[in-house]
Amino acid sequence: MPAGNLLTAAALLFTGCSFSQMKHFADTLNLRFFNSATYNKIQGDLFKVVNEAWLLEREKVQKEVENKMLWLAGDGRCDSPGFSAKYGTYTLLDQETGKIVDFDVIHVNEVNNKSTNMEKEGMKRSLERVISKASVCVLATDRHVQIGYSLRTEFPEITHQYDVWHVSKSISKKLNAKSKIKGCEDLKMWIQAIINHFWWSVSTCNGNPDLLKEKWISVIHHCVDIHSWNSCDLFHACAHAPIPPEVSKNKQWLKRLSKCHEQLKVVVLDKFLLRSLEKLTLFCHTGELEVYHSMMLKYCPKKQHFSYEGMVARTQLAALDHNNGTERDQAVVQKGERAGELMYKQVFPKCSKRWVLKPIYVKKNFNFRKDLMSRTVEVRKEKIALPAIQKPNLPKNIATAPKPSRDEAIESHRSRMTAAHKDV
């Protein structure tokens, strides 16, 4: 095999690029390039190199945490937008180090063609592997009903916590919907403050669910300029400093018992939300996983189909990429009067519509890709036999009905078109 073919195919896969994009680039440049059959043949060997690298990385991470009581964050991801997912990936991340500890890729046929069951199955498989190597104390997830039931019944020794970010996002969505109701427009300007209050309540509850509940409910008093009350046992007044009269006078408070205030109470006092507060007391959030899932789109874009082995290998590459960058320091200014200061950037997210300050980190070195390239050449030169990615027994496709013959399909199509024209 020409070395150029091997190295080009390896670089394509290891950087998350697709063959079709590179082929379009080469054709536009009138550059001679190997075909998809050659690439697919090479790719089969590359998957084994990636698999070996991930297994070594997973073993290394699990050795680092084997004597710790792990606080994990878990979240699922489907391979396509909408409700037609073929693969589901569930990832477990160590909240302390930010590293991916394990993940599992589920094919929809493994859960009886019910894509809604993939997240629960992926959680169980990956969690069982981690438990066999380390002790898990806490697992933070979104409010997935099946996962909650599975953790209560099959993993009762693990403390289940909800992700603060997911719950706050749900509250924000409901408040935005309420603010669009006629007569509730004034609620719009309070949404960000209410979400900030929710985060503050969770972060300062000291593990006490009753205190958390009372702090959260206090927002319905504060918004109408009431800052002390006797209706609670633990939290009787706002924690902020007294508001000067001139500031209070110009503040756009909500009117007590108005339609706007009543709609706010509907959201704040929602029974499901209040029950959920019991699982927010440890202030866990899966922000690192959201960042990882965003980066994962580079390796596994949702609008592109992959084989099972391809999906697993590309997820392994994403995990290697993520773990390779977790220990980066925040960048500092190198020259000028501000030399030595930490670097930040200002961004304006469309969802929050306000400026946010974010730290800038030193650039990734991507050494794992160089290691993969070296290992690829070594395996080819030395003719080393690497184990393949373990693939479950899967059907050729996910169709639930037998494929008709070509003639039957054409006849059925003609019949439908004829009927459609008659109806018109």
Q: What is the mean pLDDT of residues 255-267?
A: 94
Confidence of residue 420 (pLDDT cuts 50, 70, 90): low
* Contacts with 107 (C-beta within 8 Å, 6 or more apart), sequence order: 86, 87, 308, 392, 394
Q: State residue 351's pLDDT score.
A: 67
**Among the ranges given (11-20, 101-110, 269-278, 414-423), the one the predictor scored with the smallest mean pLDDT:** 414-423
**Among the ranges given (37-51, 235-249, 293-307, 339-353), the one the predictor scored with the smallest mean pLDDT:** 339-353
Q: Name the residue with higher pLDDT: 71 or 405.
A: 71
Give the separation between CA 120 and CA 308, rounded to whole angstroms: 19
Q: State residue 209's pLDDT score.
A: 96
Question: Average pLDDT over the chain, rounded to whole?
Answer: 91
Confirm if 280 and 140 have CB atoms less than 8 A apart.
no
**Is the pLDDT reported for residue 313 higher than 90?**
yes
**Among the ranges given (75-84, 174-183, 186-195, 316-325), the one the predictor scored with the smallest mean pLDDT:** 75-84
Confidence of residue 28 (pLDDT cuts 50, 70, 90): very high
Nearest to 97 by CA among 312, 307, 324, 303: 324
Q: State residue 353's pLDDT score.
A: 72
Confirm if 103 and 128 have CB atoms less than 8 A apart.
no
**Is the pLDDT reported for residue 40 higher than 90?**
yes
Q: State residue 232's pLDDT score.
A: 86
End-to-end CA, the chain? 60
Q: Over the stretch 208-259, which tens digit does the pLDDT of each residue have?
A: 999 999 999 999 999 999 999 988 889 999 999 999 988 888 899 999 989 9
**Is the pLDDT reported for residue 82 higher than 70?**
no
Give the Å distances, CA to CA, from 37 to 34, 43, 226, 388: 8, 10, 71, 19
**Is the pLDDT reported for residue 91 higher than 90?**
yes
Q: State residue 423's pLDDT score.
A: 53
Q: State residue 31's pLDDT score.
A: 92
Query: What is the CB neighbour count within 10 angstroms for residue 207?
Result: 9
Answer yes or no: pTM beyond 0.85. Answer: yes
Give the separation between CA 279 and CA 119, rounded to whole angstroms: 20
Q: State residue 32's pLDDT score.
A: 92
The residues pairing with 406 across neighbouring beta strands, listed in sequence order, are none
Residue type present at position 342: L
Q: State residue 356's pLDDT score.
A: 84
Confirm if 209 and 283 have CB atoms less than 8 A apart.
no
Confirm if 167 and 143 have CB atoms less than 8 A apart.
yes
Q: State residue 411's pLDDT score.
A: 81
* Contacts with 95 (C-beta within 8 Å, 6 or more apart), sequence order: 71, 72, 73, 138, 140, 284, 288
At 105, which helix (H) or strand (E)?
strand 100-107
Q: What is the mean pLDDT of residues 126-142?
A: 95
Query: What is the CB neighbour count within 10 angstroms for residue 220?
Result: 20
- The four Cα atoms 46, 47, 50, 55 give a dihedral, to 10 degrees, of -140
DSSP, collapsed to helix, strand or coil, labels residue 150 as helix
Q: State residue 287's pLDDT score.
A: 84
Confidence of residue 365 (pLDDT cuts 50, 70, 90): confident
SS in 3 state form for 312-376? HHHHHHHHHHHHHCCCCCECECCCCCCCCCECEEEECCCCCCCCEEEECECCCCCHHHHHHHHHH
Domain ranges of the chain: 3-163+286-330+366-375, 164-279
Q: State residue 329's pLDDT score.
A: 85
At 267, which helix (H) or strand (E)?
helix 259-268
Query: What is the CB neighbour count within 10 angstroms for residue 302?
Result: 14
Strands 100-107 and 159-162, sheet pairing? unpaired
Q: State residue 167's pLDDT score.
A: 95
Q: State residue 395's pLDDT score.
A: 72
Task: State both tokens at 295.
Answer: 């980066």
Q: Name the residue with higher pLDDT: 139 or 83.
A: 139
Indicate the class that CATH gives domain 3-163+286-330+366-375.
alpha beta
Confidence of residue 416 (pLDDT cuts 50, 70, 90): low
140: left (phi over 0), alpha (psi -120 to 50) or beta: beta
Q: State residue 421's pLDDT score.
A: 55
